[in-house]
Amino acid sequence: MQHRPALRAPLAAGLIIFVMAALAVALHAQQPDHVHAPPDTAVPLQPLAMQARRLETALAYLGAPLPAAARGRLNDALALEDERNAAARIQEVLDAYVLATVHINPESRVRVQQGAARPDLVQGGTRVFLVKVVNDAGVTAPLAVQSPNSGRVFVPSRGGVGVPEPTMTLTAAQARDRWADISIFTESPMRPRLSGFRVEYAILQIYSRDVGQRTATLAFNVGQGTQDIGFRNDIDVLFTALPAHPIRLRVLDEHGAPATAAFLVEDELKRIYPSMSKRLAPDFYFQPQVYRANGDTIHLPAGSFTLTVSRGPEYEPQTRRILLAGPEEWLFRLVRWIDPSRHGWYPGDHHIHSAGCSHYENPTEGVLPEHMWPQITGEALSVASVLTWGPSYYYQKQFFTGKDHPLSTASTLMHYDLEISGFPSSHAGHLVLLGLEDQDYPGTKRLEDWPTWALPVLRWAKRQNAVVGFAHSGWGLEVRSRDLPNYEVPAFDGIGANEFIVDVTHPGAVDFISAGDTPYVWELNIWYHVLNAGFRTRVSGETDFPCITDDRVGQARSYARVEGPLTYRKWIDAVRDGRNYVSDGKSHLMDFAVNGIEAGTGSGEVQIAGARTVQVSMKAAARLEPNPVESIRRARYDEKPYWDLERARIGDSGEVPVEIVVNGAVVATQKLAADGVIRTLTFEVPLDRSSWIAARILPSSHTNPVFAIVDGKPVRASRRSVQWCLDAVNQCWTQKAMQIKATEIEAARAAYDHARQVYRHRLAETP
C-alpha cells in the first residue's frame, strides 16, 4: 500500500489534532462530575456473569468491543471465589461505559442519572454506550428511550438500506435540533425486554449527523405512566462529535487496473469503522469489513487506525497503521499470490443469497443486485449465483431473467437462479438449481403448491437443461466418526443431501453434491459411498452466504475449467461434468489427470486392460500464513470454519499433505510446501479393479474423480458402501414419508423402492 495524503497539515498541528483525538476516544476515562451509585453487592453472581458475557458478545458484534484490559478485568472478576466481591467487580468494569443509569423504584417509577462514560460521538457515525438499569420493581417490560433530538431524517436500517421518514415539513430550528438517531439495541444476543433482574445493562446507540458540541435530552421509561415526577426520567447530555474526514481510496489490482477490495478499519480501542450497527447500503451491518471500489471514500475521524485490505483468498492481505489528521487519499496496490483463471480455472460460488438470514429486518425483500455486486467483485469471484429462496421468493424473483445480470462484466458474472429452501420439499434437502429458464413450477400459483419431495423438482429443472444439486450437504448426515468413509447411518433428518441417496439412482436426476459449508466428514461420506456404488455425481463448492456464514461470499468455492471466453453456461456445465475442484481458495489442485485424461473431460474415463499402474498428475499450490492459527487447527471438525487450509498444516511446518484417494482410501501422499508456488506433482498408483481416483488437501481442496475402468467392468468398489446406501434409503424414508402429501406419496414410495432395487442389484454385482 502507498499512503499519499491529499491534504497535508503542518506536522506540529497534525500531532496536536491526533493527541486531542486520542484523548477524546479514551472511553475508560471517568468523569468526576457524573458517577454511578455504588455497585450492588447483593446481586447474585451467576445471572450477572451471564449478562456480562452477553454484553461482550453483542458489543463485539456491533464493532465496538470492550477493550482488552476491560475483558481481562471481567475474567479476573469471574474467577473470584467471593461471589459478592465478584458481582461488585463486574459492575465496576461495566459502569465505566455507562452513559445513563436508570432507576426503577418499587412503584415502577423511572428516574435517570448520567453515568461515567465520556459522551463522545463521531460525525456521520454511531457510538455505542451502556445503560445500567437498577430494577427494584422487577419490571419485565421493554426499556424505551426517547429524545426530541432523535429524528428520522435518515434511518439506516439493519440491512444497510437508508429508509426515509414519511414526508413532513420541518422548521429550520426543528431540523437543527434533530441531529441524532438514538435507539436501544435489542437484537440477539440482547433481549427486547428487561429480565426483571435487580441489575442489568442495555446497549444504547447514538448516531450524530453533525460535528462539534450538541446537547441531547434522553428520556427513559418502561411503559406509559412510569416516568417519575419532576422530569426525573430524563437527562440532558452534552455530546462532542468529532469531525469525520473523507478518505478517498485508490484500489488497483495486480495489473494496475481499478478494482474493488474489502477494508477492515479499527481504531486503537478496536472499534470498527464505519459503525456496523447503522450502516447504509451497500455496506452490510453484519460484516466487520466494507467493500470499496477505486475512487470510493470512507469517512473517519482524526486518530490512529489499523487498516486491513483484502480481496479474497487469492490475494495477500495487507495491514497498515495509519495516523489520520484530515482528508487524505490512500493508494493500495493489491498483490495476488495465485491466479487460477490464467490457467483456465475460474472461481465461483453457486450459493449466495441477497435475502434472508443475516441480510435485513424484513425477510420478504432483502437487498438489491447493486448491493451484492461489491461483495462479489471485492472477493474476486468470477461467477456468482445469487439464489432466490422461499421467504424472499415473491420479491427477489423480479431480478431473475434467465440471463446474466446487466452489472456483469466479461470477467465477473452475476446470475440470479433458485434454491429450493422454504418450499414444501425442503425437508428432503435443499436444492440448488442453476441455469433455469423459468422459476415457476408448472401449475403452481404459490410456494405451497410445489411438490413436497425433491425428485419432481429436480426433473422439472433438468427439463430446462438446468444444472442441479443438493445444498449444504452435511445437515442431517451428522456422524460421530472422523473416518472417510465411515459406516454410521446418519439420521437423515435435516435439510442437506438427504434424499440425494435416492435421487442418484434415477438417471440424470442430480448433477452434484455441494461441499465446503458444512463439516467435511458429513459431506464427503455420503459422496464417497455413492461413488463406491458406481454412481458419478460430482462435487461443487459453495458458501450459503449469509446463512451458514455471513463473513463473506466465496469462502468455499468451485474452480471450474472453461475453454475460451467465460460464460455462465460454460461454468455450470463444467460443474455438471466434474471439470472443477472444491477449494477454500487457499489451496489449488489444477489439471488433475490420470494417464493424461483430465477429470471432467469426455466421459471422464481411463480405459485399462488388466491390473496395472496408472500415473496421476496435477498442478498444486497452497499458501499458509507463517505462524499456525491454533484456534482453527485445534477446533473440532464440526466447528467453523469447516474447510480451511490451516487444518491441513503438518505440525508447525509450512507444509500440507496432498493425498491420492482411490475408492475412498488414501493410497499415496506427498508433502507440498504451502508457499504459494505452483508445482507439478506426479504419483504412481497401482490398480487391480475399476476405481474412482481423486486428489485432496483435506479439508481445503478436493478434485472431482477420474474413473479408471479395468477390463470394461463398472466401478463396484465396496459391498459395505452399497449396503450403507441401501440402509440409508430405508432410514431416509422413515424421516421424509410423513412430510409428503397424500397425493404424492405413492409416486415417492415407488421412487424409494426403485432406489432400493438398484442398490440391491449393485450389491449382488459387488465382489
Concatenated DSSP letters of 151-179: -TTS-B-TTS-B-PPPP----HHHHHH--
Does residue 691 have a pLDDT over 50? yes
Last residue of a domain, one of 242, 257, 291: 242
Q: What per-residue confidence (pLDDT) applies to 228?
A: 60
Q: Is residue 235 part of a domain?
A: yes
Residue 540 has pLDDT above 80, yes or no: yes
88 within domain boundaries: yes
Classify residue 15: in a domain, yes or no. Answer: no
Q: What pLDDT is recorded for position 25?
A: 36
pLDDT value for 223: 85
Domain span at residue 279 reads 245-333
Q: Is residue 763 part of a domain?
A: no
The answer on 206 and 102 residing in a single domain is yes
Give the pLDDT of residue 364: 66
pLDDT value of residue 38: 63
Candidates 86, 112, 80; CA nearest to 99 is 112
pLDDT digits (tens, 9 = 90+) for 482-500: 999 999 999 999 999 999 9
Q: Are residues 560 and 454 in the same domain?
A: yes
Q: How does DSSP classify residue 456?
A: H
Mean pLDDT of 629-650: 95
In angstroms, rounded to a whole number, what is the distance separating the alpha carbons of residues 423 and 123? 45
Q: Which residues are bridge partners to 695 per DSSP?
A: 660
Q: Which residues does 219 contact at the CB level (< 8 Å), separation at least 6?
A: 112, 145, 146, 147, 227, 233, 234
**Is 539's pLDDT higher than 80?**
yes
Percent of the chain with pLDDT over 70: 91
620 HSE (CA, 13 A, CB side)? 28
Q: Are residues 294 and 352 in the same domain?
A: no
pLDDT value at residue 679: 98
What's residue 281's pLDDT?
84
Q: What pLDDT, on a 0 to 100 scale, did the predictor assign at position 229?
A: 55
Domain boundary among 224, 242, 260: 242
- 71-112 pLDDT, tens digit per residue, is 999 999 999 999 999 999 999 999 999 999 999 999 889 999
Q: Report the number of distinct structural domains present in the chain.
A: 4
Whole-Å CA distances, 686 to 34, 300, 659:
79, 62, 15
CA–chain centroid gap for 338, Å, is 23
Q: Looking only at Cα atoms, what is the longest distance across the chain?
A: 97
Q: How confident is the model at residue 113 (pLDDT cuts 50, 70, 90)?
A: very high
DSSP for 611-658, please give it: SEEEEEEEEEEEB--SS--HHHHTS-TTSS-SS-GGGG--TTSSEEEE
Tell me the per-residue pLDDT of 557-578, one tens digit each, with 9 for 90 and over.
999 999 999 999 999 999 999 9
The span from the CA of 367 to the CA of 529, in Å, is: 39
**Boundary (domain end) residue, out of 333, 356, 390:** 333
Q: For residues 623 and 570, state if they share a domain.
A: no
Mean of pLDDT over the chain: 90
Q: Please determine, for residue 205, whether its predicted confidence score (pLDDT) is greater than 90.
A: yes
Full-model pTM: 0.86
Q: Are residues 419 and 401 in the same domain?
A: yes
pLDDT grade for 37, boundaries at 50, 70 and 90: low
Average pLDDT of the residues in 113-133: 93
199/317 same-domain check: no
* pLDDT for 457: 98
- What pLDDT score does 32 carry? 38
Using pLDDT thresholds of 50, 70 and 90, give the confidence band for residue 278.
confident
Mean pLDDT of 693-702: 98
Is 50 exceeded by the pLDDT of residue 161?
no
Q: Would you tell me the crossing angle of helices 719-736 and 745-765 to the nearest 10 degrees?
A: 170
In a domain, residue 4? The reply is no
Q: For the domain that residue 179 is a member of, what is the CATH number? A: 2.60.40.10
Q: How far is CA 266 from each of CA 65, 121, 306, rounded to the nearest angstrom?
A: 11, 16, 5
* pLDDT of res. 363: 58
CB contact at 8 A, 497 and 526: yes
Q: What pLDDT does residue 155 have? A: 35
Based on the fold, state whether residues 456 and 601 are members of the same structural domain: no
- Residue 758 covered by a domain: no
Judge whether 21 lies within some domain.
no
* CATH at 393: 3.20.20.140
Say yes or no: 282 and 351 in one domain: no
Whole-number pLDDT of residue 231: 59
pLDDT score recorded for residue 5: 33
Same domain? 324 vs 345: no
Taking only the tens place, the pLDDT of each residue in 544-562 is 999 999 999 999 999 999 9
pLDDT per residue as tens digits for the range 388-405: 998 889 999 999 999 999
What is the amino acid identity at position 278? K
Give dist(CA 415, CA 400) in Å, integer: 8
**Residues 428, 562 within the same domain:** yes
pLDDT (tens digit per residue) in 287-341: 999 999 999 999 999 999 999 999 999 999 999 999 999 999 999 999 999 999 9
Check whether residue 142 and residue 174 sit in a common domain.
Answer: yes
Does 558 share its domain with 614?
no
299 burial (CB, 10 Å; 0-12 / 13-18 / 19+) is middle
Residue 753 lies in a domain: no
Tell me the average pLDDT across 755-763: 98
Residue 176 has pLDDT above 90, yes or no: no
* Nearest one of 579, 677, 531, 658 to 348, comparing CA atoms: 579
pLDDT tens digits, one per residue of 735-755:
999 999 999 999 999 999 999
